[in-house]
Amino acid sequence: MTAQLIDGNALSRTLRTEVAARAAALKARGVTPGLAVVLVGENPASQVYVRNKIKACEDNGLHSVLEKYPAELSEAELLARIDALNDDPAIHGILVQLPLPKHIDAQKVIEAISPEKDVDGFHVASAGALMTGAPGFWPCTPYGCMKMLESIAYDLRGKHAVVIGRSNIVGKPMALMLLAKNATVTICHSATPDLGAMTRQADVIVAAVGKRNVLTADMVKPGAVVIDVGMNRNDEGKLCGDVDFEGVKEVAGWITPVPGGVGPMTITMLLVNTLEAAERSAH
Ligand code: GUN
């Protein structure tokens, strides 16, 4: 292996220790940072994610509330709950776990969250703030990727960053964050004719597609930084990312593993955003 590992578990431990200290300081001033997590339906993956988010709050001195509803919950009932959480002074962050059942308009629900409590960073106001450089909440996964680059003191100025994937949750905000750090950014997607021709020019590659082996060793410039946002299962049922880790680690300069890379960082940045929301409300 030539690449150095960017360890998301180790970085998360450091950042969560900082969160816990800031949470304790805020608590001493009479404000306990509070996160409400709303889960509708029985999606097994969502249940695991939500459990991990609640546990991370408990472990780091944040108050958390899990609101679980059956899949039959109506959109109006869900919107009424969001209204109540918007008005609840003990709650500083609201997260509605996605996907929602098909009869509920997810974007309408997200827009109902007060932007001051939008710790997922999915509200149009948060997206607009990121785009214009105004204060707001950054989506947790790309924010975590930026922290990983920061942890290796990587200077993005003038570098070519290639983002594979254009989702509202990862690809698009990732591109804006890299741009804000003065990288030259290319966004690739399913209609990109020759992905390898793009990635071979990249100093930094972020793979966020949700498909195994999207990035292989022949597509990577020697020494490049490779960040793997993917969360897939291989034929043996083992967790794997979008990157062919075994091959790419022989070419890249830095690489994030799956598991133990971006995954824990996403939850860590949710804690950071919730704490930030509580600190802003206390000021
Ligand atoms: N579903 C998958 N990832 C996420 C996330 O980051 N936030 C929410 N709310 N739902 C998700």
Question: In order of start, what are the domains of the chain with their CATH numbers?
Answer: 30-116 (3.40.50.10860), 140-263 (3.40.50.720)
Pocket of ligand 1 (CB under 6 A): 95-98, 120, 140
pLDDT band at 283; cut points 50, 70, 90: confident
Calculate mean pLDDT across residues 222-250.
97
Of ligand 1's listed atoms, the one at least distance from the Cα of 266 is 6
DSSP 39: E
**Atom of ligand 1 at shortest range from CA of 98:** 10
pLDDT classification of 142: cutoffs 50, 70, 90: very high
CA of 140 to the centre of ligand 1 (A): 9
Q: How many whole angstroms separate alpha carbon 188 and alpha carbon 165? A: 6
Model-level pTM?
A: 0.97
Q: Respond yes or no: is residue 147 known to be catalytic.
A: no
Q: Which long-range contacts (CB under 8 A, 24 or more apart) does 245-249 make?
A: 247/216, 247/217, 248/3, 248/215, 248/216, 248/217, 248/220, 249/1, 249/2, 249/3
| Cβ neighbours, 10 Å, residue 223 | 12
pLDDT tens digits for 96-126? 999 999 999 999 999 999 999 999 999 999 9
User: Longest Cα pair distance anywhere in the chain, in angstroms?
Assistant: 56
Give the SS3 label for residue 152.
Answer: coil
Mutation probe of ligand 1 site: the residue of 49, 67, 174 with most atoms within 8 A of C-beta: 49
- pLDDT of 80: 98
Confidence of residue 139 (pLDDT cuts 50, 70, 90): very high
**Exposed, middle or buried by CB within 10 Å (0-12, 13-18, 19+), for 89?**
exposed
- How many CA atoms are closer than 13 Å to the CA of 160, on its beta-carbon side? 12
Indicate if the pLDDT at residue 168 is higher than 80: yes
Question: If DSSP codes are grouped into helix, strand and coil, which group holds residue 65?
Answer: strand
> Known catalytic residue: 53?
yes
23 pLDDT higher than 90 = yes
pLDDT given at position 259: 97
Mean pLDDT for the stretch of residues 215-224: 98
d(CA 43, CA 40): 8
Catalytic residue, chosen from 117, 118, 120, 228, is 120
CA of 109 to the centre of ligand 1 (A): 13
